[in-house]
Chains A and B, each alone.
Chain A
Amino acid sequence: MTAVLRGIQAKARLYWPLTKSLQTGLLLSTGLAGYMSARCPVTHWYDFLGLGLSLYLSVAGSTILNMWYDRDLDAVMNRTHHRPLADGRVTPDEALRLGLVLSALGVSLSLAMDLLYGLVIFAGLFFDVIVYTVWLKRRTAWSVLWGGIAGGMPILAGRAYGLGAIDGVGILLALAVLFWIPTHILTFSMRYFDDYRAACIPTFPSTYGFSRTRLAIAVASAVAALAIGLAGVLIGMEWGFVRLLAVLSAGLLLLAVASVFKPAERLNFGLFKYASLYMFSAMVLLSL
């Protein structure tokens, strides 16, 4: 019995990094915030649990499928070559099976909960794995846009589940995530420029240069901040929370603009970290 438990524990330790827990957690928080933004009182714990579980399974499943498909790229990149799949601790077949099972469970559960919600979740998974990873990631720097659309699906799905329909605010929230994702991904692709070049992945910095990428980040940050702020007002967020969101947005914009005029690696990575913190804080404020 103890040996079995130890075996499960060892497998869990190997599988956990495959799910990119921080990224998955952040996307999960957007989905839950989307649901809470519909001003649904969480009176049915099983609803909330089902939402969290289906989102987690779908996002983690698609992340594992991405990692399975990109294992050859991960193996040549300094930042990722130690991942369990890239260094052979997890076999490709094992990862594929795990990714498919988690994705199927997540989509099935979400479809069972609500057809519209399930369809949006499925669309997110499709855009992320098929359109972004399999089709576009190795072909064009603009794949980031499709990754952004996939990233916007959890918040749209959460709100659709809360309302029973897709509304303008839901689309605005999805747009906010879509435009936030370049800030997240492009700062990262500048920091690990050599890694991406070694793996021959076209990125904004390698295609359009660092200056234009920084400008794109600043514009995307401004649009994301505007979209979240507008969505907050339309949802009926308390004015105090709107003020707080405005302050946090101002911080994001200041960093993005500062990195355009005074580019520095430290500032770039600071923007990456701040953007994650910003998105999480915005999700908390939308939920209150």
Chain B
Amino acid sequence: MRMTVLDRILLLLTGLLAAYQIAVGIDGLASLPVTAYTVGFGVLLVASLLLIILGFEVLDSPVVVIVSTVIPLSLALGLVWERLPVFRGAYLAFVLLGFIAVLLTRLLPMKNRLPVFTLAVVHAVAGLTITLLPLVWAFLGRSPLGFALVGLGGAMIGIGGLQLSFLKAGKPLLSRATILRILPALLMLTSAAFVAGFKFG
């Protein structure tokens, strides 16, 4: 599927928003959240540049499943580290083990359902963390209301990540054409929601 000019503009905006967040938006945080957010937004930035340069065909690479797992995992880790200090150790362990599990089930040849199951569990936990934590915090008044936008971004990237991962796993939830049609806009809106959420949260 050919990439349109609008797709390229949306991906460029995604990259610029992610770049802004890395350079300016996470200053003053502790080392681990800064590292986690840098990795998450960094993957988003490089992925959007590669999509512009190489086109949608880059999504055919088997690495995409692993890469699309890094974004929610690293963002979720940053959020938990900042807002739920009690769960820091446990969540760090989940992120590391989850990533290794996705990596291994992708790299080793397996004919059972373990790869898809692993992917679903890791994405679901990380996605729900990014979506629910900011929403709950904002509505409980523990954070300014604007922080809820991070949750909105989390919901959107969760949807995008799941669609891509299941497409790559051979069990697509939507057709490839539909996913590619909405992907640039989804990525741009996700980045905008994250940047605004962190700014006003």
Taking residues whose C-beta sits less than 8 angstroms from the other chain, chain B's interface range is 10 to 19
A239 to B34, CA, bound (A): 11
What's the minimum C-beta distance from A56 to chain B, rounded to whole angstroms?
26
A273 at the interface (CB under 8 A from B): yes
Instruction: Give the contact stretch, choosing among A75-83, A202-210, A244-252.
Output: A244-252
B23 A270 Cβ-Cβ under 8 A: no
> Looking at the complex, which one of B19, B49, B57 makes contact with A244 (CB distance below 8 Å)?
B19
B201 at the interface (CB under 8 A from A): no
Q: How many residues of chain A are within 8 Å of chain B by beta carbon?
A: 19
Interface of chain A, helix or strand or loop or mixed? helix
A254 at the interface (CB under 8 A from B): yes
Q: Which residue of chain B has its CB nearest to the CB of A242?
A: B23
B79 at the interface (CB under 8 A from A): no
B140 at the interface (CB under 8 A from A): no
A240 at the interface (CB under 8 A from B): yes
A244 B46 Cβ-Cβ under 8 A: no
Q: Which residue of chain A has its CB nearest to the CB of B34?
A: A243
Task: Count how many pairs of residues, one from A and one from B, have CB atoms less than 8 Å apart in the complex.
Answer: 46
> Looking at the complex, which one of A240, A266, A267, A274 makes contact with B49 (CB distance below 8 Å)?
A274
Given contacts A240-B24, A241-B23, contact A274 B53 (CB under 8 A): yes
A270 B42 Cβ-Cβ under 8 A: no
Interface readout for B1-35 with A: 1 if CB under 8 Å, 0 if not? 00000000000000000010011101100000010
Q: Which residue of chain A has its CB nearest to the CB of B63?
A: A258
**Within 8 Å CB of A238, what residues of B?**
23
Question: Which residues of A (220-269) have their CB < 8 Å from a CB of B?
Answer: 238-241, 243-244, 246-248, 250-251, 254-255, 266-267
A250 B22 Cβ-Cβ under 8 A: no
A192 to B54, CA, bound (A): 18
Given contacts A247-B38, A266-B54, A270-B53, contact A239 B46 (CB under 8 A): no
A256 to B42, CA, bound (A): 17
B46 A247 Cβ-Cβ under 8 A: yes
What's the minimum C-beta distance from A253 to chain B, rounded to whole angstroms?
11
Nearest 5 interchain pairs by C-beta = A247-B42, A251-B46, A240-B23, A244-B23, A270-B54
